[in-house]
Amino acid sequence: MHITDHHHTHIESILDRHGRASHRLLQVLHDVQDRFGWLPPETLTAVAQGLGLPRVAVESTAGFYSFLYTQPVGAYRVLFSDNITDRLLGAPALLQRLCERLWLQPGKVSPDGLASVDTTSCTGLCDQGPALLVNGRAMPRVTPERIDAMAGLIRQRVPVADWPEDWFAIDNRIHRRDAMLNHVWRPGEGLLAARERGARGVLHEVEQSGLRGRGGAGYSTGFKWRACAEASGALRVIVCNADEGEPGTFKDRVLLTTAFDLVVDGMCVAALAVGASLGFIYLRAEYRYLLPRLQARLAERRDQGLLGEGCLGPGQSFDIDIHLGAGAYICGEESALIESLEGKPGKPRIRPPFPVTHGFLGQPTTVNNVETLATAALVALHGGDWLRSIGTELSSGTKLLSISGDVARPGIYEYPFGTPLVEVLHAAGAADVQAVTTAGAAGPCLSASELHRRIAFEDVATGGSIMVFDHSRDLFELAHHVAHFFAHESCGFCTPCRVGTAVNARLLDKLAAHRGSPYDLEEMDRMHRLMQGASHCGLGNTATLALQDLVHKFRPAFERRLASTTYEPAFDLDANLSEARRMTGRDDAHAHLGSNRSAGLGQTP
């Protein structure tokens, strides 16, 4: 594509809109792509010059994110959500059907440049799948009839904006409300209560409340806020983590849709407590459809004095910018998220130093999950003892659960911590339960005999993603899916995770083709031991948790896949590992095989 003067004018105005700040790179690339449909090489050069960055820095950001395209894409880009729950609901057959109707191959752009059809990781619509994104717009509840109608509209080149509006209607299926969702919220209520308490008072109440992060790790919010408040820096920053990439979770989407003011109040409360003046909402690209609504509400709050100039008190300003992600699960990890906020590829940082002292642009930064912030707003209003009176001693308050899979009523359920899983599943209409994943792809998988366990950090710790599988499901398929998910989402920065996730995926491919042996299952155990602790970030440390539970608790599903005949693989995994161990004298030989070996693995069946 030749960039004309006219195109240059567009790029210049995009750069101006972003103040030509190099940390705005990812947002600039989004806008350039919106204008050109993809990112032609000349646009990357123009952006690099405009932001004063080396071209290679722009290229590496553009190349990192799944939703940035450095090759031409179809005028209609259809991405089917590839969570296991979408698969259970028939997504693969729907994808095939659309490809047949449009005469194209999955993953390839049609020769006339009209369309491309592919998959993407979970789109956060598991309670109303199968879902897809078409030119970035989320469409739930896709049916074969809808696919045929879509193919017709694409062939007639009808703009997506003119497609039936009800195809894009997204429900907020809230089936159970408790302390948070029952609260009738007046915008600014938490902020005004926090102003009355003052920064010290708010910090005290949050510490008193025992509030723990709802993003998965359960870290003490009061501890994090105090560390940030006490760190030295010219600027302090509050980040709302709305990346919500864990397969099976969608509660943050529902909070942003139905209780956005509560979340913004929570950010303001955090800002007052730590002394921050700048805030970001890191919104996953899959939720882009929410962006205009959220931006409009932020503007209204500025007009109402609930955001911006003086909103925290005389002379104390705090404002929020929404930063759009671009399709990378790893960007939910807080240090990768901060890298992404700075316009870089989302690779986790080496810690220490931690974000609370050296975060966004090296300044003290607090990153909290959407639900944590909403809960903090309630703490500012009702006080710490109020939250402590709900839940258990080590897990105060309530938890929002996103429930999907084999249940009669998928959706959002709010329960006090300490509630037995069986009660939650009963309410959702689960019957004949075989297995339940309690932290998406990145956590344990419980069997039916464990459902008496309680939702709490001290028992079943969960970010809220609960996926249910009944006895009709082949749990090998779940393991196969999880292994490929992590192999795809590993950022590749460290060897144990890059190689370990690839090895697991290939081992399960082998088993799927009935070419595996019991040794392959043992090899998965070794990968687990290798990746635990040796991985640089939480992705590598959690990537084998569900796999381990599946292999050990649901063994028959794997044994059914073992080879019945002797098989000679094209790439002899076992021989290569033995050789590597002999050479390194170590059992963690994978770590030393590095990327060359992962290239070789591509040849295994």
Ligand X SMILES: Cc1cc2nc3c(=O)[nH]c(=O)nc-3n(C[C@H](O)[C@H](O)[C@H](O)COP(=O)(O)O)c2cc1C
Scanning 82-90, 225-233, 468-476, 531-539 for contacts with ligand SF4 by CB under 6 A, the matching segment is: 531-539
CA 69 to chain centre: 20
Per CB under 6 A, does 498 bind ligand SF4? Answer: yes
Q: Which of residues 463-492 bind ligand SF4 (CB under 6 A)?
A: 490-492
Please identify, among the stretches 142-150, 161-169, 505-513, 534-542, the one whose residues bind ligand X according to the rule CB under 6 A.
534-542
Residues 413 and 386 sit within 8 Å (Cβ to Cβ): no
Distance, CA of 601 to CA of 572 (rounded, Å): 9
82 binds, among ligand SF4, ligand X, none (CB under 5 to 8 A by kind): none
With beta carbons less than 8 A apart as the criterion, state whether 126 and 248 touch.
yes
Shortest spacing between CB 508 and ligand SF4, in angstroms: 18
Question: Please, what is the minimum distance in Å from the beta carbon of residue 543 to ligand SF4?
Answer: 7
Using the rule CB under 6 A, is 245 a contact of ligand SF4?
A: no
Least distance from C-beta 494 to ligand SF4, angstroms?
Answer: 3
Nearest distance, CB of residue 534 and ligand SF4, angstroms: 9
User: Positive or negative CA dihedral for 247, 249, 252, 256?
Assistant: positive
Interface with ligand X: number of residues (CB under 6 A)? 22
- Nearest distance, CB of residue 489 and ligand SF4, angstroms: 7
Beta-strand runs (E) in 190-254? 237-242
Q: Is 216 one of the binding residues for ligand X (CB under 6 A)?
A: yes
- From candidates 369, 398, 404, 465, binder to ligand X by CB under 6 A: 369
Answer for the pair 329, 290: CB distance below 8 angstroms, yes or no.
no
Question: Contact region for ligand SF4 (CB under 6 A) — 50-58, 235-243, 533-541, 547-555?
Answer: 533-541
Judged by CB under 6 A, the number of residues near ligand SF4 is: 14
By CB under 6 A, is residue 129 in contact with ligand X?
no
* Contact status, residue 40 vs residue 1, Cβ threshold 8 Å: yes
593 near ligand X, judged by CB under 6 A = no
Contact residue for ligand X among 537, 545, 547, 550 (CB under 6 A) = 537
* 493: partner contacted, choices ligand X, ligand SF4, none (Cβ within 5-8 A by kind): ligand SF4
The entry of ligand X, ligand SF4, none near residue 217 (CB within 5 to 8 angstroms by kind) is ligand X
Query: DSSP secondary structure string, 331-398?
Result: GGSHHHHHHHHTTS---PPPSSSPTTTS-GGGS-EEEEEHHHHHHHHHHHHH-HHHHHTSB-SSSBSE
Kindly identify the residues of this chain, within the stretch 317-356, that bind ligand SF4 according to CB under 6 A: 330, 348
Amino acid identity of residue 179, one-letter, is A
Q: How far apart are CA 133 and CA 117, in angstroms?
A: 10
Least distance in Å: CB of 337 to ligand X? Answer: 7
Going through 215-307 in order, the beta strands assigned E by DSSP cover 237-242, 278-283
Does 244 sit near ligand X (CB under 6 A)?
Answer: yes
Q: Which CB atom, from 203 or from 330, has the smaller least distance to ligand X?
A: 330
Report if residue 497 touches ligand SF4, rule: CB under 6 A. yes
User: Which of 124, 129, 233, 245 is close enough to bind ligand X by CB under 6 A?
Assistant: 245
Quick count: other Cβ atoms within 10 Å of Cβ 564?
A: 7
- Residue 499 tokens read as 């190689």
3-state secondary structure of 187: coil
Considering only 535, 542, 598, 604, the residue that binds ligand SF4 (CB under 6 A) is 535
Helices (H) and strands (E) in the chain, counts: 24, 15
243 binds, among ligand SF4, ligand X, none (CB under 5 to 8 A by kind): ligand X
8 Å CB contact between 158 and 105: no
Instruction: State the nearest-atom distance from the C-beta of 327 to ligand SF4, in Å.
Output: 15
**Distance in Å, CB of 347 to ligand SF4, minimum:** 6
Q: Looking up tokens 């469409």, which residue turns up?
A: 139
C-beta of 247: minimal distance to ligand SF4 in Å? 15
50, 190, 213, 500: which one contacts ligand X (CB under 6 A)?
Answer: 213
Q: Does 367 bind ligand X (CB under 6 A)?
A: yes
Does position 350 interact with ligand X (CB under 6 A)? The reply is no
In contact, 124 and 463? CB cutoff 8 Å? no
Residue 490 interacts with, from ligand SF4, ligand X, none (CB under 5-8 Å by kind): ligand SF4
Q: Among candidates 264, 252, 329, which has minimal Cα distance to 294?
A: 264
Residue with Cβ nearer ligand SF4 (123 or 535): 535
Q: Which is nearer to ligand X, 167 or 219 (CB)?
A: 219
Give whichever of 185 and 486 is closer to ligand X, judged by the CB atom.
486
Residue with tokens 């560390």: 227
Single-letter code of the amino acid located at 502: A
Alpha-carbon distance 599 to 484, whole Å? Answer: 16
DSSP 403-458: EEESBSS-EEEEEETT-BHHHHHHHHTB-SEEEEESBTBTS-EEEGGGTT-BBSTT
For residues 315-334, which are near ligand X according to CB under 6 A?
A: 330, 332-334
CA 334 – CA 340 distance, rounded (Å): 10
User: Residue numbers of the site for ligand X (CB under 6 A)?
Assistant: 213-217, 219, 241, 243-246, 330, 332-334, 367-369, 372, 537-539
User: Residue numbers of the site for ligand SF4 (CB under 6 A)?
Assistant: 330, 348, 490-494, 497-498, 535-537, 539-540
